[in-house]
Amino acid sequence: MIHETAQIHPSAVIEDGVKIGANVKVGPFTYIATDVEIGEGTEVMSHVVIKGPTVIGKDNRIFPFAVIGEECQDKKYQGEATRLVIGDRNVIRESVQIHRGTTQDKGVTVVGHDNLLCVNAHIAHDVVVGNHTHIGNNSILGGHVTVGDYAGVMALSAIHPFCTVGAYSYIGGCSAVVQDVPPYVLAQGNHAKPFGLNIVGLQRNGFEKPELHAIRRAYKEIYRSGKTLAEVKLVLAEMAKDWPSVARFSEVLENSERGIIR
């Protein structure tokens, strides 16, 4: 079903079963396969490929040569009907690839709202990208990666499968991340190591000085106190009673499967 206000270029190929909302624009030579839903106000430019099952929200901008909802590169994938879900107001630049999930995990890849995915970024199967993130040019998010809200993964960086990039963290360019990056942390290198806190990013997102001081104390407990992680967890649990933002550190220490960068 194509809404009457949608603008579809005559050269675009739209298969049966596609749902296109109000005021959607589809450019020339774009191909949209069946079982795709595109929300109102989204612009799909020329030479884009979108396959399903895929749901794309409202007011997104998808630039030329992006490949959205293609089957994944996991050798275990056998053509199962896995999904891709993309939220609202994302900017998906040229040649970005976002693959559907696998039945070995959640069966769905998720991209939230208000994200910038730069040129040739690769979002692999079963990845979860939060909101307001910046995924830089030629960055790679391996399968099953989670990227928290307001995180930045800069150009040419690679995140190993099953790793977590915490909220408000910042991965410097050309980094190789093979373990979890805690929230708020500035990391860089091959293999990536912590280099303090993403203070500029936190300030830009409204964190005030008292909260920043609490986050800095928590960071020092993890990385500079010489305590075991078991001891650190106890300290952070007490701090989190007064500063809920510190609880993000506790969560990653409790739930990390690959360990945190050290």
What pLDDT is attached to residue 3? 96
Report the top-level CATH class of 7-144: mainly beta
Pairing of strands 192-197, 185-189: antiparallel
pLDDT in tens, 238-258: 999 999 999 999 999 999 999
Q: Indicate the residue type of 21.
A: G
Length of the chain: 262
Kindly name the residue from 99, 122, 125, 160 that is annotated as catalytic: 125
pLDDT in tens, 45-56: 999 999 989 999
Q: Is 244 helix (H, G, I), strand (E, B) or coil?
A: helix
What average pLDDT does this structure show over 129-149? 98
**Domain pair 7-144 / 202-255, same fold:** no
Residues 151, 130: contact at Cβ < 8 Å?
Answer: yes
Helices (H), the chain: 199-204, 209-223, 229-242, 247-255
What pLDDT is attached to residue 105? 92
What average pLDDT does this structure show over 82-110? 97
Kindly name the residue from 69, 136, 143, 152 that is annotated as catalytic: 143
**Cα dihedral: 225, 229, 235, 240 (round 10):** 120
125 tagged catalytic: yes
Q: Indicate the residue type of 257.
A: E
CA distance 39 to 31: 17
Sign of CA dihedral 177, 178, 183, 189: negative
Kindly name the residue from 35, 88, 126, 180 that is annotated as catalytic: 126
What fold characterizes domain 202-255?
A: Udp N-acetylglucosamine O-acyltransferase; Domain 2 (1.20.1180)
pLDDT-derived band at 107 (thresholds 50, 70, 90) equals very high
What pLDDT is attached to residue 248? 94
User: Which one-letter DSSP state was computed for residue 260?
Assistant: B
What pLDDT is attached to residue 231? 95
144 tagged catalytic: no
Cβ-proximal residues to 143 (8 Å cutoff; 6+ apart), any chain:
72, 74, 102, 105, 124, 125, 126, 127, 161, 162
213 tagged catalytic: no
104: part of which helix (H) or strand (E)?
none
Q: Is the pTM of this model over 0.85?
A: yes
Domain ranges of the chain: 7-144, 202-255
pLDDT in tens, 220-238: 999 999 999 899 999 999 9
Residues 107, 101: contact at Cβ < 8 Å?
Answer: yes
